[in-house]
Amino acid sequence: GAVVSQHPSRVICKSGTSVKIECRSLDFQATTMFWYRQFPKKSLMLMATSNEGSKATYEQGVEKDKFLINHASLTLSTLTVTSAHPEDSSFYICSARPTGHNSYEQYFGPGTRLTVT
Amino acid sequence: QKEVEQNSGPLSVPEGAIASLNCTYSDRVSQSFFWYRQYSGKSPELIMSIYSNGDKEDGRFTAQLNKASQYVSLLIRDSQPSDSATYLCAAQNYNQGGKLIFGQGTELSVKP
């Protein structure tokens, strides 16, 4: 149980285009999902907290107009990187916290590797 | 001071030995703590969670929490080469929406 998928797993796009990444909880509902990015040899950096049916909460320094987050259902959150630039190239990982559980464990998706050329 | 600190390593242990990974945190109101394992190029995988002072054992893994000292550790018994990975410690504060604060990770290498 507690499986989270991400799509696509790898994407290459040209500078100036937008890319959408999907995060799905496959066998549980998740009121809250999180989006992280990770640079090589670095730890995970939380970008935003995504809550179903409400606006995402962005961490300090993360541009909300550049990284659009939509959490339209209890099993799906999307991250759209708008007008991507080479510096947006990174490993983007989502996590999901099961709804209704007493614990606050988070389960991670497999990640999406974005390369902007 | 970083909120969650770990030695970056690399920590090298021989196969069959006990690997000891340590983590300290600065926020006294953190309630939950997690250890994740991350293989190169992959996303983190949850291996242990601990909420109360003391030890929690799961197979070859034992997590230890000491809230007075703000210290969390992970012991891996009978280390195997397949345990070679980066181990991430994370602290969680329910009052901050449950978000995780990660340490920088400790790279573990288990030599055959």
- The per-residue pLDDT for range B42-100, each reduced to its tens digit, is 999 999 999 999 999 999 999 999 999 999 999 999 999 999 999 999 998 777 777 88
Q: What is the pLDDT of residue B8?
A: 78
For residues A32 and A93, give the distance between their C-alpha atoms in angstroms, rounded to a whole number: 14
Q: Chain B: residue nearest A113 by CA?
A: B41
Percentage of residues in chain A having pLDDT higher than 70: 97
Identify the pLDDT of residue B44: 93
Q: How far is B94 from chain A (nearest CA, A)?
A: 8
Residue B27 pLDDT class (50, 70, 90 cuts): confident
Half-sphere exposure for B71 (CA within 13 Å, toward CB): 11
Distance between CA A41 and CA A69 in Å, rounded? Answer: 26
φ, ψ for residue A13 (rounded to 5)? -135, 165
In whole angstroms, what is the distance from residue B103 CA to residue A29 CA? Answer: 28
pLDDT of res. A80: 97
Chain A residues within an 8 Å CB radius of B43: 93, 108-111
Strands A90-97 and A76-81: unpaired
The 10s digit of each residue's pLDDT in A54-110 is 889 999 999 999 999 999 899 999 999 999 999 999 999 999 988 876 667 889 999
In this prediction, residue A103 carries a pLDDT of 60
Q: Which residue of A has its CA nearest to B48?
A: A105
Q: Which tokens belong to A83?
A: 């007008």
Instruction: Name which of B46, B51, B98 is nearest A107 (Cβ-Cβ).
Output: B46
